[in-house]
Amino acid sequence: MTSLVSDDGIVTAVTLLSASPCVITQVKTTETDGYQAVQLGTEVAKHPAKPQIGHNTKAKVAPSKIVREIRVDEITEELSVGTELKADVFSVGDNVQVTGTSKGKGFAGTIKRHNFALGRKTHGGRNYRRPGSIGSMYPQRIFKGKRMAGQMGVDQVTVKGLKIALVDAENNLIAVTGAVPGPRKGIVVLKGAK
């Protein structure tokens, strides 16, 4: 993350995203697949699998390291197999939503994971970070979905209401206002918000 200063002197916190060029490797239509989408591939895979080579031979592009599918409302002539999409697809001021995988926190307790309160540390209290009661006598089982300790993070997270603050097509950079999910060098998908 960094900050940008506008002409009026307003400082905005932004996240810089490396937007390497994406190539359309497949176009899915309602007639053939039951829905409309485009498959985007970016970066060249070092050791692609044979099915991946065959799939990209039809598209006449090098096998992609990262492949993502994005649903679209309508398929135009611009969205054809082999078309390259760069950072200048977006323009400054566009509303976008960013989807990524959140940082993994490992096995976390209820206080960190679900914001449970600490137990009292005076008057003989021994229950400082324990969850406390997890059910009554009836129905003599724990309901599914009970908030307890467990794996935290590594979830798909979508942040909405972000705006494009800067587009640098030469250096393949996009600056988005605010924070995006995931660690540094994580893969995120930018979509135009409706």
pLDDT tens for residues 104-159? 999 999 999 999 999 999 999 999 999 999 999 999 999 999 999 999 999 999 99
Q: Which two tokens stand for residue 106?
A: 């490992």
Burial degree of 166 (CB within 10 A; 0-12, 13-18, 19+): middle
Query: What's residue 42's pLDDT?
Result: 92
- CATH number for the domain formed by residue range(s) 1-19+89-104+153-194: 2.40.30.10
Q: Can you name the CATH fold of 20-85? A: Double Stranded RNA Binding Domain (3.30.160)
Q: Where are the domains of the chain?
A: 1-19+89-104+153-194, 20-85, 109-134+145-150
Query: What's residue 82's pLDDT?
Result: 87
Q: Which residue from 126, 135, 129 is spatially nearest to 116, judged by alpha carbons?
A: 129
Which parts of the chain have pLDDT scores under 70?
none
